[in-house]
Structure 1
Amino acid sequence: MENQISIALEIFKNYALSEKEIRYINNRFEKIELKKGDILLTPNNNVTYQFYTYSGCLRSYFIQKSGKQSTIQFAIKDWWISDYTAFFTNQKSVMSLECLKDAVIYKVSKSDIDEVFDKIPRLESFFRKKLEKAFAGFQKRIIEYLSLSAKERYQKFRENYVEIEKCVKNYHIASYLGITTESLSRIRKSIS
């Protein structure tokens, strides 16, 4: 129980929570330990959970009709990940979630989060702020993809995601940037 209490306090570190609230939250989160290569979600499934990354590294990706993988998001410590389109719209998943580095994550269902909001209303602002930040980040990424060169996109990735670059393979970074691994290698050589 002590470990669960510490995870509730870690997730909601900026909120003063009573012991009763901590226990209530802990009962809504389920700990999962993943090994590198584990697949957490595949396409064409119902998505009723979102995942808090306590340690390790995960990625969400989309497989195009050609078979090419496009990385949509990475998740490291203190980040959330899911197929959010499916999660919020009750549509089937289109993305996969893969563990890239052994991870400890905590899953929580949409219904449990809604119950937490009802029981502890001030936490709804926590998730609203997280969603606002994520939405702004995705929009910024789309604009950068449309307006920056591959080299500029890689340089921004390196500036913003130092920890992620240490955890993932080159082809994951290339698929996140929308380029080939060969292009990524050329860009890296031109920078060094």
Structure 2
Amino acid sequence: MEHAKPLLNYIRKHVTLSEEEEVFLCSKIDYRKYLKGQYILQQGDISTTQCFILSGCTKMFFVDNDGQEHIVMFSIEDWWTSDLGSFVSQTPSDFNVQCLEASEVIQFPYETIESLFEGIPKLERFFRKIIEQAFVASQKRIIQNFSLSAKERYQLFHSKYPQIEQRIPQYMLASYLGFTKEFLSKVKKELLKP
């Protein structure tokens, strides 16, 4: 139950659970530690868990046919990570989820999600809210990629997620933003000019 405190605090921001519901929830989750570089999910495998990050940082990415890595998401403390499409449909994942730091996560196994929803109906509402937020964020990112310049995309990331930028290599940030690390370096130099 000690490991679950950050998760319970997070859930309390959205729904109120009774003490019995919290105990039931904690009985259905798995706590796991991962090493830096370790994969939580690999492309082609079926996503069997939804992961809440207690500590650490992960990246979600796919590798194209040319072997090029494309980062679509970073996750840090109090964030979620998983290939939701693979998890919901129980089909092979399009993405990898890899730890950029030693990470601790709470995992919700696929087999127990339905029993959680039956035992605590409020959790279904909670997960719906989380998925709605993720969907909206994903749509906004698509629009930003089409409508903002490279400089504007970097500035937006820098202002919204300074705590992530400090924890990831520049080439990964460049991949996430959709350009090369050399171009990112050029953009940052231009922003430093008086």
TM-score range, shorter chain: over 0.9
Distance 2:16 2:98 in 1: 33
2:37 equivalent to 1:37? yes
1:6 aligns with 5
2:189 aligns with 189
1:174 aligns with 174
1:96 aligns with 96
**Structure 1 residues 106 and 64, CA, compared in 2 at 3 Å: closer, same or farther?**
same
The count of corresponding residues between Structure 1 and Structure 2 is 191
Distance 1:171 1:28 in 2: 38
2:126 aligns with 126
1:16 alignment partner, SS class: coil
How well do the aligned residues superpose, as a CA RMSD in angstroms?
1.4
**Structure 1 residues 46 and 5, CA, compared in 2 at 3 Å: closer, same or farther?**
closer
TM-score if structure 1 supplies the norm length?
A: 0.94
Structure 2: which 5+ residue stretches go unaligned?
A: none
Distance 2:166 2:130 in 1: 24
AA aligned to 2:99 is C
Deviation at 1:28?
1.4
2:109 aligns with 109
Structure 1: which 5+ residue stretches go unaligned?
A: none
AA aligned to 1:137 is A
2:22 aligns with 22
2:103 alignment partner, SS class: strand
AA aligned to 1:185 is S
Distance 1:128 1:41 in 2: 22
TM-score if structure 2 supplies the norm length?
A: 0.93
Deviation at 1:4?
4.0
The answer as to whether partners of 1:55 and 1:104 remain within 8 angstroms in 2 is yes
2:16 alignment partner, SS class: coil
AA aligned to 1:13 is R
The answer as to whether partners of 1:8 and 1:26 remain within 8 angstroms in 2 is no
**Structure 1 residues 37 and 153, CA, compared in 2 at 3 Å: closer, same or farther?**
same
Identity %: 36
